[in-house]
Amino acid sequence: MIESVPNLSEGRDLEAIGRVGHAIQSAGARLLDVHVDGDHHRSVFTFVGGAEEIVAGALAMVEKAVARIDIRDHHGEHPRIGAVDVVPFVPLAGSSMANCISAAREAGEAIGARFGIPVYLYEAAASRPDRRNLADLRRGGLEGVATRMETEDGRPDYGPPHLHDRAGAIVVGARPFLVAYNVNLTSGDLAAARAIASAIRASGGGLPGVKALGVMLHSRGLAQVTMNLTDVGATTVPEAFEAVRVEAERRGVGVLESEIVGLAPRAALAGASAEDLLLTRPVEEIVLEERLADL
């Protein structure tokens, strides 16, 4: 079994989001979770299946998304370069990273050929070392990737060397578990959120395996520290929460709540309760193993 956690650049049109979810299930994959965020203008789908079902689900999702989403009209807090921004494949029990690399390349080639969308491969499926990091592929947003495509070195792995009018570009890859985790502060102090993110991210000498940004949730007037925990063996969710809390306290700001985007393996929570982490959902709703047990 393989898990896919695609990120869709749409977090406000609930009908469109519902149609994408239906398309994934109609293709034979099992949809476990949909996380919708209007401020980030982004939705994260979590679905599982064998290699055939997971690729079919990804293609069905892209087809529906291209018909409903125009990236040129998109304005949100989260970095993105496409209507379907990123499509990662993650090995579950009985699968391997090699299986996910194969699925990613099959899906990427089909997306490029069928929909005329430029596709870049990343992480374990990357065609070369400088394309492993998702942030590097997103650098400069749509304008940045469009400019790079004009050079031989910046050509996509699949599809045409120019952006799709509506869909932009897509990044497809294979990677280990990643936990997307957000902590909302008690105020709209964006400068504080950015300073906290800078202090805790790995690239700034903070927590290992942590990528972090400070953003505004305009609909609520709150600042948020949004994180990707890329190695939960090195930094668990409780450790990330505590680091944000301590840094926030240093700046005279409180922590209101936190949320897991999508699902997380049980080990990532390290035994912490929803109350410990001020989570917006019960633990049983966000633990991957619990959801798989329901299948």
CA distances to 35, 46, 109, 223, 274 from 281, rounded to whole Å, are 11, 16, 37, 20, 7
For residue range 67-105, list pLDDT tens digits in order. Answer: 988 887 756 555 678 999 999 999 998 899 999 999 999
Q: What is residue 141's predicted lDDT score, i.e. its pLDDT?
A: 86
For residue range 232-291, list pLDDT tens digits in order. Answer: 999 999 999 999 999 999 999 999 999 999 999 999 999 999 999 999 999 999 999 999
Candidates 243, 175, 176, 233; CA nearest to 209 is: 233
Strands 179-185 and 255-261: antiparallel
Is 135 in a helix, a strand, or coil? helix
Q: Average of pLDDT values for 52-63?
A: 97
Q: What is residue 75's predicted lDDT score, i.e. its pLDDT?
A: 60
Q: What is residue 185's predicted lDDT score, i.e. its pLDDT?
A: 98
Q: What is residue 72's predicted lDDT score, i.e. its pLDDT?
A: 76
The pLDDT mean for the chain works out to: 94
* E-only strand ranges, 147-254: 170-174, 179-185, 210-217, 222-229
Domain residue spans in the chain? 2-174, 179-293
Q: What is residue 79's predicted lDDT score, i.e. its pLDDT?
A: 65
Helix axes 51-68, 14-26, angle to 10 degrees: 150
- Whether 51 contacts 2, CB under 8 Å: yes
Candidates 176, 9, 185, 34; CA nearest to 84 is: 9
Q: What is residue 227's predicted lDDT score, i.e. its pLDDT?
A: 97
Strands 210-217 and 222-229: antiparallel
CA distances to 189, 221, 222, 248 from 214, rounded to whole Å, are 10, 13, 11, 12
pLDDT band at residue 38 under the 50/70/90 scheme: confident
Element (H, E) at 208: none
Domain 2-174 class, CATH top level: alpha beta
Give CATH for domain 179-293. Answer: 3.30.70.670
Q: What is residue 1's predicted lDDT score, i.e. its pLDDT?
A: 93
Whole-angstrom Cα distance, residue 196 to residue 200? 6
Place of tokens 């299930």: 25
- Whether 6 contacts 35, CB under 8 Å: no
Whole-angstrom Cα distance, residue 57 to residue 63? 10
* 168, pLDDT greater than 90: yes
* 111, pLDDT greater than 80: yes
Q: Which residue has the higher pLDDT, 222 or 293?
A: 222
Q: What is residue 239's predicted lDDT score, i.e. its pLDDT?
A: 98
- Give the predicted TM-score (pTM) of the model: 0.91
Strand arrangement of the beta sheet that strand 222-229 belongs to: 210-217, 222-229, 179-185, 255-261
DSSP secondary structure string, 245-259? HHHHHHTT--EEEEE
Q: What is residue 123's predicted lDDT score, i.e. its pLDDT?
A: 97
Q: Which residue has the higher pLDDT, 166 or 89?
A: 89
Active-site positions read 78
